[in-house]
Structure 1
Amino acid sequence: MEFLFGDLTATQLGLAVAVVLFAGFVKGAVGFAMPLIMVSAFSAFLPADVALAGLILPTLFTNLSQAFRQGWAPAVQTARDYRRFLIGTVVFILLSAQLFWLIPRMGYLLMLGVPVTAFAGAQLLGLPLALKLEHRARAEWILGVIGGLYGGISGIWGPPLLVYLLSTNVPKVQAVRAQGVVFLIGAIALLAAHLGTGLMQGPRLWFSALLVPAAMAGMWAGYRVQDRLDQARFRRWTQGLLVLSGLNLIRQAFWD
């Protein structure tokens, strides 16, 4: 056990599996929020480096499923449609990943907690988050870069994409697929970056691999919810969960 997972205890491993199972379920139902839930929960009982490593492989595999759920052709077309966002995200994930070891725990948690709470809280209150995109190509580049800067450090680059999708009134199925494609390519870049930084080596790599089956099981259960239940109602509950997750990150920054 120690050879594979280092200093992690059986209790920590069990809690991590439970968190990922739930996070996968939410992602299957609404298409996003998995890394946010994982980081928020993991930060309560895991070191920051282990928490980030833990989300990388589950994120990669669940986004592979989400991106190609309607087949290869729609996924490839979506990648072409969002190519500017993808390029900005990937390039800046690779750059910002090099800074992970320089960010103190308090700064790392606040960088995540404050924007996540603000974004989800605004959605929950019904405030309009759509931007007036007079120059769509420029908006794709800017939001992609922002997502990449956050992604390399935290493993989370979803909120800028969600704002963009809201702003362009993308239909539900296309929006969920777009999230899967962008998150998948970003996850590949994140894995490559942290193979280079040394984060994804040894016990941290094995820990991340351990969580993949739970993530996939949760996601397939979530798909059943996405297909059958009122999406708007479940999304509202998810927004509330994201607010709690963001507030938990802020609490940990100051009091843990």
Structure 2
Amino acid sequence: MDVLMDGLSAPAFLVALAVAGVAGFVKGAVGFAMPMIMISAFSSFLPPEVALAGLILPTLFTNLSQAFRQGVPAAKDTAFTYRRFLIGTVIFIAVSAPFAALIPREAFLLLLGLPITIFAALQLAGFSLAIRLHHQTRAEWCLGVIGGLYGGVSGIWGPPLLIYLLSTGATKIEAVRAQGVVFLIGAVALLAAHLGTGVANGPSLAFSAVLSIPALIGLKVGYAVQDRLDQTRFRRWTQGLLIVTGLNLVRQALFA
């Protein structure tokens, strides 16, 4: 049991399990926010390396479920539909990653968090910020590149995808599946990177695997909520959580 707890006290271990369950529920309901919830909560009572390692496998497994919930053909179709975003993101993560140590992370977080918060707040207030059909291809490339540039230096590339999905009026099912496909690629990259750094090791991965259990249970409960949400309420939940995400990025930038 001590191996699975990665040296944590019993109360800390139980709180970590609860956090994973809540994060899984939110992800199941709206398709995102799991890493934000887990790292924000874990950082208050876990060492940084344990906090980071703890979210690796829950993020990987829940994104696998989310991406392939409607089957492999649907996931392949979604990957093809958003191929420009994926290509732009992957290429520019590689381009920007070497500069991570040279660019203040706080500056990037602030420059990402403020526009996200303003965009989501305007949409929630009823302003139409839809991308015109003839601009969608250009917007997808641009947001993919932006996501990659930010992802390489800060590890965060999801919000530009959410902005694109909200701006193009993607359906609930398509939006959630697209997030699953894109985030799955990020989760695989995260695991590979930290197998190299040593953050993901035997004890920490055992701890992460245990956290995957409540995360997947929460995900299934969240799916039930998602299935009951109509398109309008789903968009409002997404906009609201995007505002929280943006404000959290600003908080990290200002109080890191």
Task: Tell me whether the two structures share a fold, i.e. TM-score over 0.5.
Answer: yes
In 2 relative to 1, CA 74–237 (structure 1 residues): closer, same or farther, beyond 3 Å? closer
Cα deviation, 1:51-103, whole Å, max 9, x if unaligned, reads: 33333221211111111111111111211222221122233445556666778
- Residues of 1 paired with 2:208 and 2:186: CA distance? 17
Partner of 2:85: 85
Partner of 1:28: 28
3-state SS of 2:169 partner: coil
3-state SS of 1:130 partner: coil
- Residues of 2 paired with 1:100 and 1:214: CA distance? 33
Partner of 1:214: 214
- Residues of 2 paired with 1:199 and 1:224: CA distance? 34
Partner of 2:205: 205
- Residues of 2 paired with 1:79 and 1:210: CA distance? 30
In 2 relative to 1, CA 244–154 (structure 1 residues): closer, same or farther, beyond 3 Å? same
In 2 relative to 1, CA 199–93 (structure 1 residues): closer, same or farther, beyond 3 Å? farther
Partners of 1:23 and 1:38 within 8 A in 2: yes
Task: State the 1:107 CA deviation.
Answer: 6.1
- Where structure 2 has 5 or more consecutive residues not aligned to the other structure, the ranges are none
Partners of 2:19 and 2:38 within 8 A in 1: yes
Partners of 1:93 and 1:186 within 8 A in 2: no
Q: How does 1:114-133 map to 2 (within 5 A)?
A: 114=114, 116-132=116-132
- Percent of pairs with identical residues: 68
Alignment TM-score, normalising by the size of structure 1: 0.79
Partner of 1:15: 15
Task: State the 1:217 CA deviation.
Answer: 0.6
Partners of 2:159 and 2:242 within 8 A in 1: no
Q: How does 1:1-256 map to 2 (within 5 A)?
A: 8-94=8-94, 110=110, 114=114, 116-132=116-132, 134-152=134-152, 154-233=154-233, 235-237=235-237, 239-244=239-244, 246-248=246-248, 250-251=250-251, 254=254
- Residues of 2 paired with 1:221 and 1:163: CA distance? 26
3-state SS of 2:187 partner: helix
In 2 relative to 1, CA 22–156 (structure 1 residues): closer, same or farther, beyond 3 Å? farther
RMSD of the TM alignment (CA)?
Answer: 3.4
In 2 relative to 1, CA 213–105 (structure 1 residues): closer, same or farther, beyond 3 Å? farther
Read off the aligned partner of 2:225 and give its amino acid letter: V
Partners of 1:30 and 1:231 within 8 A in 2: no
Alignment TM-score, normalising by the size of structure 2: 0.79
Partners of 2:97 and 2:152 within 8 A in 1: yes
Task: State the 1:238 CA deviation.
Answer: 5.3
* Aligned length in residues: 256
Cα deviation, 1:153-208, whole Å, max 9, x if unaligned, reads: 55432211112122333222222211111111222123223323433235443333
Partners of 2:31 and 2:179 within 8 A in 1: yes
Cα deviation, 1:109-168, whole Å, max 9, x if unaligned, reads: 657754554444344333434334644443323212222333355543221111212233
